[in-house]
DNA sequence: TATATATTTCGATAAACATAGAAACAACTT
DNA sequence: AAGTTGTTTCTATGTTTATCGAAATATATA
């Protein structure tokens, strides 16, 4: 993941509603969570929610899986792992490196 | 740090130029790095750079210290640590929680 | 095939952001 | 006090983002 990809992921996570959406998806685990379920949880209009979800997807933070009429959002954990690794490696948040 | 504060920090980090600025500041350690030094490194016009720096500062990611004519930017490591902690705690990127 | 359910796309509008030249400000030097 | 250096603020412009109702699409069921 290069600096542009990391920035893109951080940017998409950097919105209160999207961060809550992402949190909800991550908490749901590998089976994912239905869009409608997120909508109930957060009380966001469908069209707005849909845009936020596709923003997160465009950064590679989640993928979608259809089951009948419902679409499930599934976290792409590896993406967040790579973002955090970037922050730790490139922007050392390691105690040893930074605090001595 | 609540969800809004974390989102704010992520948002400000979520821009390629700002992420590079932040990286440069973090790498400089506790003595910080001069604005003019960053400007040389990245080749960004002063006014643009100044805006980006104040964006990062507004999220608590850095502070500034003047020494004569030069302003030094110093990373507020704790802020990033808290952001990463939020991602790890609230958006579990922990192997044990997420991968089993 | 008609209707219901789940979600996205369209369309429009307001707000926020990104960019950067020019002017201003701050602090040092002569 | 005048000039120099470092940085910010002003001003302007174009671009992107956020929002959400209404219409469209996709799938299921009667």
Kindly state whether residue B8 falls inside one of the protein's structural domains.
yes
Backbone dihedral angles phi then psi of residue B45, each to the nearest 5 degrees: -55, 145
Kindly state whether residue A13 falls inside one of the protein's structural domains.
yes
Pinpoint the alpha helices (H) of A29-74. 35-42, 46-58
Pinpoint the alpha helices (H) of B14-92. 16-28, 35-42, 46-58, 77-90
A39 touches strand D (CB under 7 A): no
CB A87 within 8 A of CB B19: no
> HSE (CB half, 13 Å, CA atoms) of B86?
22
Q: Mean pLDDT score of chain A, rounded to an integer?
A: 93
Provide mean pLDDT across the span A48-57.
Answer: 98
**Residues 6 or more apart whose Cβ sits within 8 Å of residue B39:** B46, B49
Residues 14-43 of B with CB under 7 A from strand C: 15, 17
Question: Whole-number Å distance, CA B88 to C1' D27?
Answer: 37
A24 touches strand C (CB under 7 A): no
pLDDT (tens digit per residue) in A5-44: 999 999 999 999 999 999 999 999 999 999 999 999 999 9
Kindly state whether residue B69 falls inside one of the protein's structural domains.
yes
Kindly state whether residue B99 falls inside one of the protein's structural domains.
no
* Chain A environment of B7 (Cβ under 8 Å): 13-16, 18-19
**Residues 6 or more apart whose Cβ sits within 8 Å of residue A98:** A92, B26, B29, B75, B77
Kindly state whether residue A96 falls inside one of the protein's structural domains.
no
Q: Is B60 on the interface with A (CB under 8 A)?
A: no
Provide mean pLDDT across the span A66-76.
Answer: 97
Other Cβ atoms less than 10 A from the Cβ of B12: the count is 25
Other Cβ atoms less than 10 A from the Cβ of A41: the count is 12
- Residue written as token pair 């999207």: A18
CATH number, domain containing residue A80: 1.10.10.10
Kindly state whether residue B39 falls inside one of the protein's structural domains.
yes
Q: Is B46 on the interface with A (CB under 8 A)?
A: no
Kindly state whether residue B31 falls inside one of the protein's structural domains.
yes
Which residue ranges of chain B lie beneath pLDDT 50? 98-100
Other Cβ atoms less than 10 A from the Cβ of A23: the count is 18
- Selected for mutation to probe chain A from B5, B7, B85 (highest A CB count within 10 Å) is B7
**Total-model pTM:** 0.93
Q: Is A14 on the interface with B (CB under 8 A)?
A: yes
* Number of domains making up chain A: 1
Q: Is A46 on the interface with B (CB under 8 A)?
A: no
């Amino acid at each position: 993941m290069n600096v542009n990809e990391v920035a893109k992921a951080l940017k998409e996570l950097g919105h209160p509603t999207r961060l809550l959406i992402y949190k909800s998806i991550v908490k749901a685990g590998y089976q994912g969570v239905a869009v409608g379920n997120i909508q109930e949880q957060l009380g966001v209009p469908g069209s707005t929610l849909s845009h936020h979800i596709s923003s997160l997807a465009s950064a590679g933070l989640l993928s979608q899986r259809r089951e009948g009429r419902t679409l499930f959002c599934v976290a792409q954990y590896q993406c967040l792992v790579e973002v955090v690794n970037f922050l730790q490696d490139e922007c050392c948040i390691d105690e040893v490196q930074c605090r001595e």
